[in-house]
Chain A
Amino acid sequence: MRAPGRPEGPSVLRLTLNERLQHALLMLSTLVLLVTGFSLLFHDVWIGRWLLWLEGGVAGRGLIHRAAAAVLMLVCVWHLLYILFTERGHAQFMLMRPRWRDVRDFAQMVRVNLGRPVERPAFDRFDYRQKFQYYAFFLASASMVLSGLVLWFATEAMAVMPKWLFDLVAVLHGRESILIFLLLFVWHLYDVHLRPEVFPMDWSWITGRISLADLQTRHRAEYERLRRAGSLDARQ
């Protein structure tokens, strides 16, 4: 019997175990951070009150939030080391770099969606949507970690920054969390769960694999590159 989510037919490895672990920890820590953060942000409505009760009051909430923040920071450092010092990580990051081609792909995709007689762009390993998500979460994690550290070490921070700047950081941390939540639940959720090609879920974050058929339709440029290099012969 086929394992759940395992692609039908021949497939290739898309995400290594290392990458899948990074993603899983990022996902877990972000979810916990959002839940514990929102219980503070929405403390005056029933959902916040209920969450705060679950988390053991404001002190318990703070503890869980900081523990999850520590995991997020660990993933961030891990990821930076991964793209800086491993061959695979570095190669992946190079493929993730924004190119002019992404802008052209985007424009072409809009024309395709509008029904113009143009061909679907041949995406490489990461299409413009995936790059947008990567950089959005890259920036979001960096600013949330930095602003979060200011709030975590409030006394130390206030020794060097005026109160208005501290307030600004606190407001930024809260307002940005809403943006992150919406990015995740409107965009990322659609992209990896609700899109008809992948519904109910794109399993590659667990299995690490993508079927050759999907690779050919969704990442045609990468498929052609791998085919020419003869890497697809090692199919499983």
Chain B
Amino acid sequence: MRGSSAPGGRGRTAAPGLAAGLAALLGGLALLLLGAAGAEALAKCLVCHGKPTLSKRLSSGRLLSLFVDEKQLKESVHAARVCTDCQSDITVIPHKGEIKRVSCVRCHFKGNPVGAPQKDIYVEYAKSVHGIAAAAGNTRAPVCQDCHGNHNIRAPRDAASQMNKAHIPETCGRCHLQVFGDYRESVHWQAFASGKKDSAVCTDCHGEHSIRSHASPESSTYVSRVPETCSKCHASVAVVGKYGIKTEQVATYGRSFHGIAIKYGEKTVANCASCHGVHDIRPSSDPRSAVYIENIPKTCGKCHTGANVNYAKGKIHVDPTQKEAGAVYWVSLFFKWLTISVMVGLTAHIGLDLFRRLRRRGAAQ
């Protein structure tokens, strides 16, 4: 490939054309040699690691498979890499000493010479709940390969990647089992599984590399940032509108006592999740939903001690300017016209009063 690009120098001045051709030739040669060396190195490793039964008993008692599927590796983004590119501490066979976890930053750093992708967003990981736990020595906290995959690593846009949107819930669910169970019950997963690819998976609410504990004020799931997070989709006609979901709910919440209080920093006031639930959000028509009409007293009662059936009598997301608000709409309309007519009457009266004075002044002159 590189070699064939040499004629690209045609039409330019001779010297740069020659230099480019030479560089391409050298590069192609290097790749060819490396590729051959890589194939050789991989074949060497696969003598043992190509056996599906190869495994190791960890000190925790868990059996760790050491099998490497060559086909999987060849289909991954690292097809051209050799084992020791990542497992750099392995120098001899049989391996000696403790074999450390692979560190992806060996290649994935800014300005790296091998062209490994590096985005600023990766740096966010260090400040994330996962990164902080990992740095503090928690061996169960995920590092890059726990989410992105190891030998099977693919670009997230690849449907087979475990970081592809369709696989995010099960990838996160490998550790967050309980949450995964709840989420699978939710309207978000139901919609996603039925082909509505706009529906929310874990990362749409929690973020990706920057994921933080919901207790952190910087988290997208922090108590006062939940409305903003939900509104990314639920205020957008382009996203939820096409599924017949109303976007006004965000605006009516914003105008409610709850919405205003949360905007001005109150922490003990209801946000979207307080009523609708978190991972197991269900449609209001579902009897197991927290906002199902018969469950409303109980849901409101979480904060409003003694909430009774009165709380379910009337719309929750009320817009006084819409007819469906019922009596509230009519009162609002009544006051609108009362105010207009009173003001017209009073200003007319003031106008008349001034008219007399002006006329009198005119007559006096």
Which residues, 169 to 196 on A, are CB-close (under 8 Å) to B? 171-172, 175-176, 178-179, 182-183, 186-187, 190, 195-196
State how many angstroms separate the Cβ of B137 from the closest Cβ of chain A: 41
State how many angstroms separate the Cβ of A133 from the closest Cβ of chain B: 10
Contact B328 A167 (CB under 8 A): yes
The answer to whether the Cβ of A8 comes within 8 Å of any Cβ in the partner chain is no
The answer to whether the Cβ of A161 comes within 8 Å of any Cβ in the partner chain is yes
State how many angstroms separate the Cβ of A182 from the closest Cβ of chain B: 6
Q: In chain B, what residue has the closest Cβ to A49?
A: B264
State how many angstroms separate the Cβ of B87 from the closest Cβ of chain A: 56
Contact B336 A175 (CB under 8 A): yes
* Bound Cα distance from A172 to B336, whole angstroms: 11
Chain A binding surface SS class: helix
Contact B336 A115 (CB under 8 A): no
The answer to whether the Cβ of A236 comes within 8 Å of any Cβ in the partner chain is no
Contact A113 B339 (CB under 8 A): no
State how many angstroms separate the Cβ of A178 from the closest Cβ of chain B: 6
Residues of A within 8 A of B305 (CB): 155
Partner of B310 from the list A161, A168, A183 (CB cut-off 8 Å) is A161
Contact A113 B254 (CB under 8 A): no
State how many angstroms separate the Cβ of B300 from the closest Cβ of chain A: 9
Contact A159 B352 (CB under 8 A): no
* Bound Cα distance from A43 to B312, whole angstroms: 27
The answer to whether the Cβ of B207 comes within 8 Å of any Cβ in the partner chain is no
Q: Which segment, of A52-60, A91-99, A210-218, faces chain B?
A: A52-60
Contact A167 B314 (CB under 8 A): yes
Contact B266 A59 (CB under 8 A): yes
Residues of B within 8 A of A113 (CB): 352-353, 355-356
Interface string of B244-281 (1 = CB under 8 A from A): 00000000001100001101111000000000000000
Task: Report B's interface with A, CB cutoff 8 A.
Answer: 254-255, 260-261, 263-266, 304-308, 310-316, 318, 320, 325-328, 331-332, 335-336, 338-339, 342-343, 346-347, 350, 352-353, 355-357, 359
State how many angstroms separate the Cβ of A165 from the closest Cβ of chain B: 8
Ordered by A's residue number, 17 sampled pairs between the chains whose C-beta atoms are within 8 Å are A58-B266, A110-B352, A112-B356, A113-B353, A114-B355, A114-B356, A158-B304, A164-B314, A167-B314, A167-B328, A171-B331, A172-B331, A175-B339, A182-B339, A186-B346, A186-B347, A187-B350
Q: In chain A, what residue has the closest Cβ to B296?
A: A163
The answer to whether the Cβ of A44 comes within 8 Å of any Cβ in the partner chain is yes
Partner of B335 from the list A179, A186, A187 (CB cut-off 8 Å) is A179
Contact B332 A171 (CB under 8 A): yes
Contact B310 A160 (CB under 8 A): yes
Q: Which of B254, B305, B312, B339 has the most CB of A within 10 A?
A: B339
Residues of B within 8 A of A172 (CB): 331, 335
* Bound Cα distance from A182 to B355, whole angstroms: 22
Known: A158-B304, A163-B313, A172-B335. 18 other contacts (CB 8 A): A43-B263, A44-B255, A58-B260, A58-B261, A113-B355, A115-B356, A155-B305, A158-B310, A163-B312, A163-B316, A164-B326, A167-B315, A167-B318, A168-B331, A178-B339, A179-B339, A179-B342, A187-B346
Contact A43 B339 (CB under 8 A): no
Known: A113-B355, A163-B313. A175 touches B307 (CB 8 A): no
State how many angstroms separate the Cβ of B271 from the closest Cβ of chain A: 15
The answer to whether the Cβ of A162 comes within 8 Å of any Cβ in the partner chain is yes
Query: A-B pairs with the 9 shortest C-beta distances?
Result: A164-B314, A162-B313, A163-B314, A175-B335, A113-B352, A113-B356, A58-B264, A179-B339, A187-B346
* Bound Cα distance from A161 to B307, whole angstroms: 11
State how many angstroms separate the Cβ of A93 from the closest Cβ of chain B: 24
Q: In chain A, what residue has the closest Cβ to B339?
A: A179
State how many angstroms separate the Cβ of A229 from the closest Cβ of chain B: 31
Known: A58-B264, A159-B306. A175 touches B352 (CB 8 A): no
Partner of A158 from the list B254, B307, B335, B356 (CB cut-off 8 Å) is B307
Residues of A within 8 A of B260 (CB): 40, 43, 58
